C-alpha cells in the first residue's frame, strides 16, 4: 500500500489492473503479486512487485508496517505492506499489468467511508466492502485491506 506525503496530506496509491492480467481485470488494486523463489521474504516480494508494476524503486520505499494477511474469495492469500514513497515520483506503469496509477487523498477515503453489499455464492452469504472516491470504486480484497489500514490509523488519532 504505497502512501505519498504531501503538503495537503497523505495520498494512497492504487493501480487499475490491465485487461491483460489473468485475474481481477480492470479492478482497482494495490501493486502486488506472487512471491518469486528469489525473494528473500514477503516484504521483498511487495517491493519487487511495486517496482515491476508502477516503477517505484525498492530503495525509495520506507516500509512502515504490515497489515493482517487477507484471504481472498478467489483463493489468494495477500500479505499487505504499507510504505511511504517520495512525492513527485514518476509512475511507470507496466502496461501488461497496470492500466493506470490512481492517487486518492487519504482524507477523502476517511470522509467518504465504506459500504457493504451482501452477496450469495455457493449457498453462503458474504459481505463485500466498497469505497467510492474521486469517481473510483475500490472494492473486495483491496477495500478490506484499506479498511484494516484506516481502522488502525483511526485508533492512533
Instruction: Tell me the per-residue pLDDT of 66-79, one tens digit each, with 9 for 90 and over.
Output: 999 998 877 888 99
What gap in Å lies between CA 100 and CA 114, rounded to an integer? 23
- For the chain, what is the mean pLDDT? 88
Predicted TM-score (pTM) of this structure: 0.87
| CATH number of domain containing 109 | 3.90.79.10
Q: Which domain holds residue 119?
A: 2-156
* Structural domains counted in the chain: 1
- pLDDT recorded at residue 157: 47
What gap in Å lies between CA 28 and CA 142, rounded to an integer? 7
What gap in Å lies between CA 45 and CA 32, rounded to an integer? 8
- pLDDT recorded at residue 22: 60
Instruction: Tell me the per-residue pLDDT of 89-141, one tens digit each, with 9 for 90 and over.
Output: 999 999 888 899 999 999 888 887 777 787 777 787 877 787 888 888 888 88
Amino acid at each position: 500500500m504505497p502512501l505519498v506525503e504531501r503538503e495537503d496530506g497523505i495520498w494512497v496509491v492504487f493501480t487499475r489492473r490491465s485487461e491483460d492480467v489473468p485475474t481481477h481485470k480492470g479492478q482497482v488494486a494495490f501493486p502486488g503479486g506472487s512471491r518469486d523463489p528469489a525473494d528473500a521474504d514477503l516484504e521483498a516480494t511487495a517491493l519487487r512487485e511495486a517496482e515491476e508494476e508502477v516503477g517505484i524503486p525498492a530503495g525509495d520505499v520506507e516500509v512502515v508496517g504490515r497489515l493482517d494477511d487477507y484471504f481472498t474469495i478467489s483463493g489468494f492469500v495477500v500479505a499487505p505492506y504499507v510504505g511511504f514513497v517520495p512525492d513527485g515520483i514518476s509512475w511507470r506503469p507496466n502496461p501488461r499489468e497496470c492500466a493506470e496509477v490512481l492517487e486518492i487523498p487519504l482524507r477523502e477515503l476517511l470522509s467518504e467511508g465504506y459500504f457493504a453489499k451482501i452477496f450469495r455464492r455457493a449457498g453462503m452469504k458474504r459481505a463485500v466492502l466498497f469505497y467510492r472516491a474521486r469517481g473510483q470504486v475500490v472494492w473486495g480484497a483491496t477495500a478490506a485491506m484499506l479498511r484494516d489500514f484506516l481502522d488502525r490509523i483511526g485508533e492512533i488519532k
